Amino acid sequence: MNVNAPEPHTYEFDDFRLDAVRRLLLRSGEVVPLTPKVLETLLYFVRNRGRVLGKSELMGALWPDAFVEENNLTQSVSSLRRALGEARGENRYVVTVPGQGYRFAAEVRTIASAVSAASEPPLAQGPMPDPDASASEIERQATGPASTSRENGRKQIVQRILLVGLVVAVLGVPAIYLWRTRALSPTNRQIRTIAVLPFKPLVPEGRDEALELGMADTLVTRLSGIRQVVVSPISAVRRYGGLEQNPLVAGSELGVEAVLDGTIQRSGERIRVTARLTNIADGSTLWAGQFDERFADIFQVQSAISERVASELVPRLTGEERVILAKRYTDDAEAYELYVKGRFFWGKRSREGDKQALECFTQALSRDPNYALAHAGLAEYYRGLPLSKDLPSREAMPKAKEAAEKALQLDEMLAEAHTALGWVKFFYEWDWQGAEREHRRALEINPNLPAAHVAYGNLLSGLGRHEEALAEMDRAHRLDPLSALGGALHGMALYLARRYPEAGEHLRRELEINPNFWLTWIQLGKSYEQMGRYEDALEAFRRADGSGGPAETQSFIGYTYATSGRKREAEQVLRELAARGERSYLAPYNMAVVYQGLGDKDGALRWLERAYDERDPHMVFLGVEPAWDSLRAEPRFADLMKRLRLSG
Pairing of strands 230-231, 193-196: parallel
**DSSP classification of residue 7:** P
**615 close to 608: Cβ distance less than 8 angstroms:** no
Per-residue pLDDT tens for 257-271?
999 999 988 888 888
CATH 1.10.10.10 fits 10-111, yes or no: yes
Q: Give the pLDDT of residue 501.
A: 96
Superfamily of domain 188-328: TolB, N-terminal domain (3.40.50.10070)
- Check whether 118 has a pLDDT greater than 60: no
In order of 32, 112, 214, 576, 581, the CA distances from 585 in angstroms are 52, 68, 35, 13, 5
CATH 1.25.40.10 fits 348-573, yes or no: yes
**Long-range contact set of residues 368-373: C-beta below 8 Å, sequence gap at least 24:** 368/330, 368/331, 368/332, 368/335, 370/330, 370/410, 371/329, 371/330, 371/332, 371/335, 371/339, 372/329, 372/406, 372/407, 372/410, 372/411, 372/414, 372/417, 373/221, 373/329, 373/330, 373/339, 373/407, 373/414
Half-sphere exposure of 107 (CA within 13 A, CB side): 2
- Check whether 174 has a pLDDT greater than 80: no
Q: Give the pLDDT of residue 91.
A: 75
Rounded Cα distance, 17 and 21, in Å: 12
Per-residue pLDDT tens for 91-100?
789 988 887 8
Which residue type, as a one-letter code, is found at position 254?
L
What residues does 12 pair with on adjacent strands?
Answer: 17, 109
- Angle between helix axes 432-445 and 415-427 (nearest 10 degrees) is 160
In order of 83, 227, 321, the CA distances from 308 in angstroms are 30, 16, 13
pTM: 0.71
Q: Please report, for the chain, the start and end positions of each structural domain, with discontinuous segments joined by +.
A: 10-111, 117-184, 188-328, 348-573, 574-648
Confidence category of residue 648, pLDDT binned at 50, 70, 90: low
Per-residue pLDDT tens for 479-527?
888 889 999 999 999 999 999 999 999 999 999 988 999 999 999 999 9
Environment class of residue 331 by beta-carbon count within 10 Å: exposed (0-12), middle (13-18) or buried (19+)? exposed
- Check whether 169 has a pLDDT greater than 50: no
Confidence category of residue 290, pLDDT binned at 50, 70, 90: confident
Q: Give the pLDDT of residue 119.
A: 34
Q: Which residues contact 69 (CB under 8 A, 6 or more apart)?
A: none
Percent of the chain with pLDDT over 90: 51
Per-residue pLDDT tens for 340-365?
999 989 888 777 888 999 999 999 99
Rounded Cα distance, 551 and 589, in Å: 10
